Structure formats: structure tokens, C-alpha cells
Amino acid sequence: MNPTTLPHRVLLPLLLAVLAGAAQAADNPRELLRQARDAVMRDPAQARSLAEQTLQALATQPDSDTDTEIEARLVLCDHHAERDPAAARREVAIVAELLPRARRSGLRAGLQACMGQIHEYASDTVRARAYYEEAVLSAEQAGDQDMLADALYLRGYLRSVQGELASALADLRRSHQLFLKLEQANRIANVLNAIAIVYNRMGDHAQARDYYLQSLKRHEADGALREQAVTLHNLGRATENLGDRDAARRHYEAALATSRRIDFPRGEAYALRGLASLANLQGDSREALARLEEAETRIRSTPDQRLQAQLLLQRGVALRLASRLGESVQALQQAQRIFAQADSRNELAQVYDALAQTHAAAGDWHAAYQRGSDFKAESDRLLRLQLDQRFATLKIEFDTAAKDREYALLQRENRATEQALVHEQRANQLKVVVIGLAAVLLLALALMVLRQYRTSRAMHSLALTDELTGLPNRRAVLARLQALLAGADPRCAVLLADLDHFKRINDEHGHLVGDEVLKLIAARLTEAVREPVSVGRLGGEEFLVVLPATDLESARQVAERIRENVASIDPLRTQIPVPLTISLGVAATRGEGDSVSDMLRRADAALYDAKRSGRNRVIALVA
């Protein structure tokens, strides 16, 4: 029978069954949430709608799923972070209230990641970085690989913006491995895109282009239109840097068309910025200004400060070409302030170059010389940074491979010892009566046990010790703090210490001198305290001191002693060519229920105040 001739008594039940299935899917919050997460990279507006439908479906259920509600609100937070910061903060406040009832502890990392995005779009990279660090730590403590992969991706991208290209690449490759393990192909493409950005900032534009092309193929296969728009823009920048303007124009125009298709204002603005840049290169200021005017219209409500600064940079260039020199200087100086606040060194160098050309066109040779000198200094610094970061990247890869080989060797020795012990036990079961042979076998057994003990200790030490300074590493010192907080007497205090101007030391004197500085600071920290106080290195130039049974004032005094100890280092009597100072943030437990994250957050806030107040000082967070 032809399906079109089915009688109504057959068609009607089928139609009712289909409608019932669709209604059931519409009422299933988990299914709606899955669809929302899948739509994030394809259609942001649809992702927002589905997340809101998830919350509506949960509201109709007597026992709503807290975890599902938190995840839906995190999707909304991610959506609003780049469009409406106030709405994003409202979602953050609700999630913070829901977290104590959540079963999935790793969701705290999602909240911290979203707070980081809000600050990053506002060009507050210091706060954003702190939240991303917390997100990574929370995800690691919870064993939540999904949240950890996201947090590493966000931290890695921000590190690349701040010029820490080697550590950025390490974060992104680790995120890539986790997404591969989780079989999340659509998010793998995002990580490839970020890795390409790192190579672009290293000056390897050809390698960046190849990664962008890989990422674009994945996005096209997944139908991820939003991410296609982002990747097409990035591909345009890479090909523009390679001097292929025709290819760059094709990629920018494709990014613009895709962004308009899904109503993605930031994507449109970035694509229009790229087209304005090409127009400036061709000397067509009229087209460039028209493109920029359209871009600024699309992002008037967007909180992305770095994007606004990039538009101002191109506007300044176009106004110079149009001989509107006063307006050009004004636009470029606004861009300079934003890039300086965001620590975007590459874009800052471009602004200095553009300002030098504008001042020269105006006949202000003194200002042109000053900005030209700034451009040369920044360009030289970027070149050294690129070379250092490429070397550091190779070193990280070599050290990682060496540690992997060493760990594999220790594992093989351990397995060999265990197998020998098994054979020994079997030999003992034979009840060999020859006393001499039994003595030899017992001696061999003792030697094997000793070797296994030494091997186990070596593995344990390798896992918990910082290779450069010999101090306990991040895992070890945080485990010590966690044990104190979980003990019978959780009273304790922490000192978060950060070496002042360490990046300048690396830039001006090289990483070998920087390593010696870290070793010297580690020695001074160890000298300043006694057991049971624990000192460890969190990473980079950050150290953590854990003081059991210590109140805030006593901890502050210890921190002040450490600060004075470091400030008293005489460069003439050491191998260190510059005076050293250190800033410390102090926090103490407020009572039962304090967590590692709470302690670190308060200490980090105090440290941030110490840095902002002029460095070389101690700030104790009272409340």
C-alpha cells in the first residue's frame, strides 16, 4: 500500500505518537541542555534559547536537578559574557547560590571560568588570569576532566595574549589531549584555533595558517558557524601577515558573511576590522573608515575592550591617510591605553609605529622620534620574546619527553621487581631444603625489596618536587594546606609571594639569570621559616608559605620578615645583577569550612592589592 493512501485509523495514531515524542523531548531538561551545548558553536542565539527552555522545563518539575540548572546557567553566562556583562553577572550570582547543593563539584570551575571571561572581555587580564588559575585548580581537585579541558583552554589563550607563549602552548596541548580523550571533536577544533594563534604570535604565520585550515575543516564538518566565523577571521590575519592580501580579503569576507548569517556582532566587527586593515594597506582611507564605522555600530553594546582598541588602531591609520592628523593621534592614544591595560604587547608595538608615522606627517619630529623609539624597543622586546618562547617551547617538549622516559623506566623497573618477587614466592613454595640456596634466595629478595623501595621513593619525589628550586611543587604544598584544613585544628594562614618585575628580569637578563633568581628566592624563603611551616612553588615566580596554627597578625609578621630578607639581598655579593623585591598577600582561616580555593582567593586578592599599591609590601586580607 502506498503510504499516502494509509487510512486515517493508521495515520492518526502515528501522528499522535510523533507529537508525544516531541513533547517528551521538549520537557526533558537534560536533552534540552545537550542541544544547547551543541548549539553554542553553531548558533549562539539558539543556544541561549535552548538554555532558557531548559530552565523553564526544570521549573515545572517538583524535584529539579540542581546540576542541570547550573550547567544551563553557565551556558547563559558564556553567552552573555561577550554581550551583556550585567546579565552574565546575574547568572554568576545564581550559580554561586546553587553550588552548595550541586553533586558535581567540578561545576565550581565553570563558575570561575565564566568570571574570568567577564573580566577578560573588559581587558582586566590580571583578574581574568586569577579566575582561570582557580578554575584549573578546582577542576583538578574535583577530577573533572571536562571542566579542566575548558579551563586549560581559556588560561592557555590568555597566556598567549600576555606573551607567555611556551606555557600557553603547554596548556593548549594538554587541553587538546583531554578533549581527544573525551571524544569532543567540536571543541578540539577550538583548541587547534588557539594553538594557531600562539604560532601566529611567535611569528610562524605559515604554521599558524596550517592549523587554522585544520580547525576550519573540523568546524565545517560540525556545522559550527560561530567558530567558522572566528577561524575565518584568524585565517585572514595569518594570510595578511604572509603578504597574501587577496586570500586575506576572501577569508575576511567569508567571516563577515557567516557572522551576519547567525547574527554574531563581534564576528562581524572583527571581519570588518580585517577589511579596514586591507583598505589601509592599499591607501584607501574612505573604504577603511566606512568599514570601521559599520563595525563600531555593531558592537556598541559589546564589552570587548581589545576589539574596540583594534578598531581604534585601524581608525587612527585611516585618519592619518585622510590627513586628519589630530583625530588620528586621539584615536591611537585611546588604543594605546587599552592595549597597555590588557598587556597586549604586539598590538602596542603597532600603535607606537602608527603614532610615529602620524607625528611625522604632522611635522612633530620630537614626538615622532619618541614613538619611533618606543616602537623599536617594543619590537626588539617582542623579537627576543619570540626567540625565548620558541626556545622555551622546545625545552618544555624536551623536558617532558625526558621525564616521560624516566618515569617509564622507573615503571619498568618496578614491574620487573614485582615479577621477581612473585617468582621468589613461588620458589619458596617449593620448600627447597638446601640451606645455602635458601640463604642466597633470601638475600636476593632483600636486595629486590630495597631496590623497589628506592625506586618508589624516587617516583614519589619526582611527582612532588619542583625541579628548578627543589621546593615542594604546587601539588605537594596544596595537599599540605588541604590536610591542615581537614584536620582537627584547621587554624592556619597562608602567604602568597610573588617576585616583583620578574618578567623584566627575564626580558633584560635572560632566563638563565631568571632561574638563578628563583633559586635564590626559594633559599631565602626556606631560611626565613622553620618546621612545621611548609614552603612550595606554585609556578612561575609565585610561592606559597603554609603556616599551621597561625593567626593573621603573626602571619603578617612572618611575611614582613620574608620581605625584608629578600629586599636585603646585595646584588654585589650574588650572581644576580639587579636588586630584588617581593610582594606578599596574607590570609588566615576564618573558621571551619574554609577551603583551599577560599584561602588562595583571599591571599591572591591581598597580593593583587600589594602589587597595585606599589609592590615590595605585605597586605593582609582582614575580611
pLDDT tens by residue, 485-513: 988 888 999 999 999 999 988 888 888 88
Q: Is the pLDDT of residue 389 over 70?
A: no
Reduced to 3 states, what is the DSSP secondary structure of residue 106? Answer: coil
Provide the residue ranges of all domains of the chain, joining segments of one domain with +. Answer: 388-431+441-464, 474-620
520 vs 62, higher pLDDT? 520
* Cα dihedral: 87, 92, 97, 101 (round 10): 120
Q: Is residue 501 left, alpha or beta, with left meaning phi > 0 and alpha meaning psi from -120 to 50?
A: left
Do residues 362 and 325 lie in contact, with contact meaning Cβ atoms separated by under 8 Å?
yes
Q: How far apart are alpha carbons 494 and 481 in whole angstroms? A: 9
> First vs last Cα of the chain: how many Å apart?
79
Three-state SS letters, 441-488: HHHHHHHHHHHHHHHHHHHHHHHHECCCCCCECHHHHHHHHHHHHHCC
Q: How far apart are alpha carbons 427 and 383 in whole angstroms? A: 66
Three-state SS letters, 352-419: HHHHHHHHHHCCCHHHHHHHHHHHHHHHHHHHHHHHHHHHHHHHHHHHHHHHHHHHHHHHHHHHHHHH
pLDDT for the residue numbered 463: 67
pLDDT for the residue numbered 139: 93
pLDDT tens by residue, 464-487: 888 889 899 999 999 999 999 988
pLDDT for the residue numbered 392: 54
Neighbours of 3 (CB within 10 A): 7
pLDDT tens by residue, 390-432: 555 544 554 444 444 554 566 666 666 767 677 777 766 776 6
pTM of the model: 0.49
pLDDT tens by residue, 531-577: 889 999 998 899 999 999 999 999 999 999 999 999 998 887 777 77
38 vs 551, higher pLDDT? 551
Element (H, E) at 546: strand 542-548
Angle at which helix 265-281 crosses helix 245-261, to 10 degrees, equals 160
User: Residue range 43-55: average pLDDT?
Assistant: 87
Instruction: Look up the CATH superfamily of 474-620.
Output: Reverse transcriptase/Diguanylate cyclase domain (3.30.70.270)
